[in-house]
A and B are shown apart, each in its own frame.
Chain A
Amino acid sequence: MSEKRKGKHTTKRGRFVQTVVEVEGRTETRVVELPAFEPPPWTAATPLTIVGTSPLRVDAAEKVTGRARYTADIVRPGMLHAVIVRAPLAKGTVTAMDLDAARAMPGVRAVMGTGDAPAATRLFRRDISYAGQPLAAVCAESLDAAECAARVLATSLRVDAAPHAVIVDDAIAPDAPLVRKDGNTTAPDVVERGDVARGLAAAEVTITREYRTPVALHSALEPHGAVCEWNGEHLTVWESTQGIFRVRSDVAKALTVPQAKVRVLKDYMGGGFGAKNGAGAHTYTAALFARQLGAPVRCINDRRAEQTDSGNRPATVQKVTIAARRDGTLTALVLDALIPLGISGWEGGPAQIFHELYACPNVRTTEICVYINASGMQAFRGPGYVEGAFALEGAMNALARALQIDPVALRLKNLATRDERANREFSGNRLDECYTEGMRRFGWTSTVHRPPPTVTRVKHGIGVAAQTWPTGGGPPSYADVRINSDGSVDVLAGTQDLGTGARTILAQIAAEALGARLDTVRAVIGDTERLPYTGNSWGSMTTPSVGPAVRMAAEEAKARLLEAAAQMLDAPVESLSTNDSQVLLDSVVALSFSDLCRKLGNVHIVGHGSRGPNPELAIVTVGAQFAEVEVDPETGVVRVLRVVAVHDAGRIINPALAESQLHGGIIQGIGYALFEERHIDRARGVTLNANLHDYKIPTMADVPAIDASFLDGADPAANHIGARGIAEPPIIPTAPAIAAAVADAIGVEVCEIPLTPWRVLTALAQ
């Protein structure tokens, strides 16, 4: 970082530089803005009074009273309702569909079928490549009328079925039907460091296992949905989304409308978990009908559509070879992975964590993505790392058992002290302390040479697993901080709050930097038309990306406020400071923000902030989790009794909200370990459990005692607020920790999740 950027504050704009940025573990070269000024970092020693405390979530009252309005709660005058008709089988061609029969139904206003949507929307195509694919849509005066007409349309559908492949084994078979024109598999993605052959030769113990993970469904309680309304050439979209600007660019591109004429709004949303990162079939359907009919249109997925065609975590088949010396020193790690993505998706596979979590000189990963006739994947909380951790940590636990070394000791022995994949130092990484603090909280006793448990029907076991996840965030993200004429403060940033608490923590950061009372600061988010750009709320990036921009904007607004105060008080600006919404002159209260701003009248005090580029360091959030389970060997039922989690994410802006994120990740991890698995009928190609009864997510009765915490501290090398991301890391180690505890309990490894009674009993029988 140059001296120029660290110097005295100036309102001069930054300049553009080319740099390497990292998104979800992948790097790319981009042009980014280098801010003219960045404030000195908040270190662990910086006395902060609002950041690092747990004020209540600012929108909690809205949520407990029912006043919080979600997309489906938006009602526009004359609003119509759209329903999408979906493919009943996995591969084939539409030969007939009676659109007129649907048009003749009561209340129906319009119908779209094959060829009626712009090609860029990819809607309503004749060729079917997965069950649940949108084939047509109906728009009517009520949801009931639209659903009735959609059923009529579905009944009239005639389809020539073709052979499909919905599971990985079928798609890679020699006589497999062609899933995509360009083939059923991607070219192998091989990443190697060191010399794996030599590492295997040097090993004294080598273990090979095949791990399988299921397709998991996001299952946000609020389905994907949009309300679209045209006013002349201007389109307004209310959308439940993690990325308002991404929805805007998607819609503008698909409908060939300038971005300036599309406004995307998002107030409250009922969960995203990675599946709501752009516009979807519901958005385009609503926008097209709304344009055609000149009326607002709402289109919301029903639960079946949500569980069928709104994204998923893809399954994996992972063959792992782990090699070590007898003292536990790793000599080689090898992964060969097959990842059935669905019909489409991005290749964020399980390999990454194999390169990052441990010090190991020789690592080779090979990923082959497989296309199958099922809905495409979407990012799902910790994509790739969750699947990879199940295999890597499973293999580490198997190695610990084989070597009779305590699994924590084995991990500490092989701790990564730098990012060996990218050959960089860490900005901060206290995984060793996560282990020791977690052991203390859990009361961990070595799993080696434990006395055999007393003979009871129900078996107890304990297990451990760890995680890493890139959480640096980065540019571009912008924010403005505006001080009103009564001294109250608006933080303006075009980001989203998924339920994470972004509204609250951005207000905390601004209040801290400004020296304002938190209750005078409001974060305004979720509007592409009136707010500065920020990126999607994905990759645990909102706090480390938007947070520094907000701080910088607040610092600039404070500088302007103090310049005005200096004039008013006839004092040098260096003698002024702020605290508790007051201006202090030589540390004595001189003027309140409200008095100062009232005297200024409508003089505009605004600060602009932008997120500067990251340092050339590996910025990761790490952690360790410990689980205790009981297994009933007669029924195969696994119950998680308790989970202890300790993670390191640098500075924690709001410990209470951060703890909620840990709980959420761990509980979703319990579902992934024990219950969650999409079942597709191999013969018909349709999802059999596309509902919340047969696709089991954890209930309150499934939740164990959870002790989840972050280490105290700050990471000033990562960014100037010292905070890294926190949302995705906690789901990553939960399933492997539970699987290790089950193996400890029953003495048999189960290498496929979810650990259903059937799988546990099958393992016990062998």
Chain B
Amino acid sequence: MRFTVNGSPRDVDPARSPTLLAALRDQLGITGPKLSCDHGECGACTVRLDGELVYACLSLTAACEGTQVQTVEGLANGNALHPLQESFITHDAAQCGFCTPGQLLAAATLLEQKPHPTDDEIRAAMSGNLCRCGTYPKIIAAIRAVADGAGGAP
């Protein structure tokens, strides 16, 4: 079965990996998306499927044929980090970093759909991605900075 991952065509065997998360991690070695709750409760596995946010742990591999999948590894443009990645760095918006790949994809999707969200819209849009370290205020600040056109500047 073939789909596109971060711009490159990739082949996986859906029988070996029923979920998209397992296919990405175990067959393709793409480990940015994390396995944490395995039930769509925490958002650590968040990826984009044809531009839409999905929990990869709840997405069936077989249903992804022909789709475009984006993971955190595909967020940067070559060596140039995505503005949100820069902003997360400058705002210290990653503590342990385990939830960060999912947070970044959720934030990128938010800003594509709503380039100038209010703080409450940020909170609502990001509330499907848990962070146990409590980095939320800095994630909000990092998203805010990009939305306000400040790029990665703190």
Contact = CB atoms under 8 A, between A and B. Distances in A.
Contact of B126 (A59, A667, A700): A700
Interface stretch (A263-271, A443-451, A567-575): A263-271
Interface in B32-69: 32, 34-39, 41-42, 44
A269 B133 CA distance: 12
Nearest to A300: B35
Given A70-B34, A692-B42, A693-B41, A664 B122 contact: no
A666 interface: yes
A564 interface: no
A485 interface: no
Contact of A69 (B31, B39, B72, B88): B31
Contacts of A663: 134-138
Contact of B94 (A60, A143, A219): A60
Contact of B81 (A64, A220, A660, A664): A64
B135 A664 contact: yes
Contacts of B85: 64-65
Contacts of B139: 700
Given A60-B92, A271-B96, A700-B127, A221 B39 contact: no
A374 to B, nearest CB: 21
Contacts of A220: 96, 98, 132
Contacts of B42: 221, 692
A56 interface: yes
A59 B89 CA distance: 9
B29 interface: yes
Contacts of B138: 660, 663
A519 interface: no
A65 B73 contact: yes
Interface string A645-671: 000000000001101100111111000
Nearest to B142: A64
A222 B34 contact: yes
Interface string A477-518: 000000000000000000000111100000000000000000
A221 B126 CA distance: 16
B34 A221 contact: yes
B34 A64 contact: no
B136 A700 contact: yes
Contacts of A143: 22, 26
In which size bucket is the chain A interface?
A: 35 or more
B130 to A, nearest CB: 6
Contact of A222 (B41, B71, B96, B126): B96
Chain B interface, DSSP helix/strand/loop, else mixed: loop
A64 B98 contact: no
Nearest to A61: B89
B73 A142 contact: no
A706 B137 contact: yes
A498 B135 CA distance: 14
B101 interface: yes
Contacts of B72: 64-66
B97 A142 contact: no
A691 B37 contact: yes
Contact of A703 (B34, B73, B137): B137
Given A65-B76, A499-B97, A657 B92 contact: yes
A143 B38 CA distance: 13
Interface string A188-226: 000000000000000000000000000000111111000
B154 to A, nearest CB: 9
Interface string B119-146: 0001110111111111111111000000
B20 to A, nearest CB: 14
A60 B88 contact: yes
Complex A-B, nearest 3 residue pairs according to Cβ-Cβ distance, in ascending order: A66-B32, A499-B96, A270-B98
Interface of A: 56-57, 59-66, 68-70, 72-73, 75, 142-144, 218-223, 268-271, 273, 300, 302-303, 498-501, 656-657, 659-660, 663-668, 691-693, 697-703, 706
Interface of B: 16, 18, 22, 25-26, 29-32, 34-39, 41-42, 44, 71-73, 75-76, 81, 85, 88-90, 92, 94-101, 104, 122-124, 126-140
23 contacts: A56-B92, A61-B89, A62-B97, A64-B94, A65-B75, A70-B98, A144-B16, A144-B18, A221-B36, A222-B34, A222-B36, A223-B36, A269-B96, A270-B96, A271-B95, A499-B95, A499-B133, A664-B134, A668-B134, A693-B41, A701-B126, A701-B127, A703-B134
Given A665-B134, A700-B122, 10 more contacts: A57-B94, A65-B75, A66-B101, A220-B96, A269-B96, A303-B36, A657-B92, A664-B135, A693-B41, A701-B124
